[in-house]
Amino acid sequence: MIWDEIEIPIEVRQFMLEGAEETVLGQKNGAKKQYRYGNLHIREYDDKYLVHMDRVDPRKDPLGHLVRDAPEILVGVASGIAAAKISSGVYKLQKNMPFAKGASIFAGLVASIVAGYAGYAITKKLKEF
């Protein structure tokens, strides 16, 4: 769960903490840039900053951050992997049929994308409660 975000007007430029580092870690959510200062996650937009505290700093403990602050990423990846395994099993059952390889690859790709996104979206929604 992301703790409540605080919106800070862009005019308050002095707000940017000295020592905050620009980072690619985290979902940008349309931000121009994002910064981290310990567990503080700062997103910079044209007209504002959005700031929240993560439970775990992803620079120090990436897996812990995924588990505590972004489980939807893990669920999405796991769902995609599970769908790929299923498509592999389907291929093994149909491997003697014409076009089985291409059809299985396509089906696996579609299933992985759908399952991965569904797992991600559902988990993200559950975090809001």
Per-residue pLDDT of the chain (129 residues; tens, 9 = 90+): 445 889 988 887 666 677 889 998 888 889 999 999 989 999 999 999 999 999 999 999 999 998 888 888 888 888 878 877 877 777 777 777 777 777 777 877 888 788 888 888 888 777 766
Where helices occur in 41-99 by DSSP H, the ranges are: 62-69, 71-94
Amino acid at 113: I
Nearest to 57 by CA among 30, 18, 20: 20
Distances (CA, A) of 39 to 3, 10, 69, 85: 11, 21, 11, 36
pLDDT of amino acid 1:
42
Domain ranges for the chain: 6-60, 70-127
Token readout for 28 is 């940008």
pLDDT of amino acid 94:
74
Strand partners, 52: 41
pLDDT of amino acid 31:
95
In sequence order, the 6+-apart residues with CB closer than 8 A to the CB of 61 are: none
